[in-house]
Amino acid sequence: MILGVQIFGILFGLFMIYYSFLKLKKKEFNNAEFIFWLVAWAIFVFLVLFPYSLDFFVKGVLQMNRTLDFFIIVGFMFLIGLGFYTYSIVNRLEGRLEKLIREIAFEKRK
């Protein structure tokens, strides 16, 4: 029996597959990026359809009581990693921008 949240999750996953395809067509994704996201969204849809497929890993290997706990922990880890990645990119771009501004200011002084 499919629940309402599963229908929403399936529709979301299918929309994201379509959106990734649009990004590929607009040349904003290369083939490797598109395949990565296609696989990621396909796994997402699979897990929405069969949420108990991870029970062996979550309950047996990780010794967690609920699969939802696993997804919450993985979600937090992903968000922390994404925050760190964003911080490092902004930091690098800030340094490059500062260097460019100094070069422009130096050229204007001449």
Burial class of 20 by CB neighbour count within 10 A (0 to 12, 13 to 18, 19+): buried
- Rounded CA-CA distance 76/72 in Å is 6
The pLDDT value given to residue 66: 86
The pLDDT value given to residue 19: 96
Kindly report the pTM of this predicted structure. 0.70
The pLDDT value given to residue 15: 97
The pLDDT value given to residue 2: 74
- Averages of pLDDT over each 10 residues, the chain, 110 residues: 85 96 96 96 92 88 87 93 96 96 90
- Rounded CA-CA distance 64/71 in Å is 11
The pLDDT value given to residue 3: 82
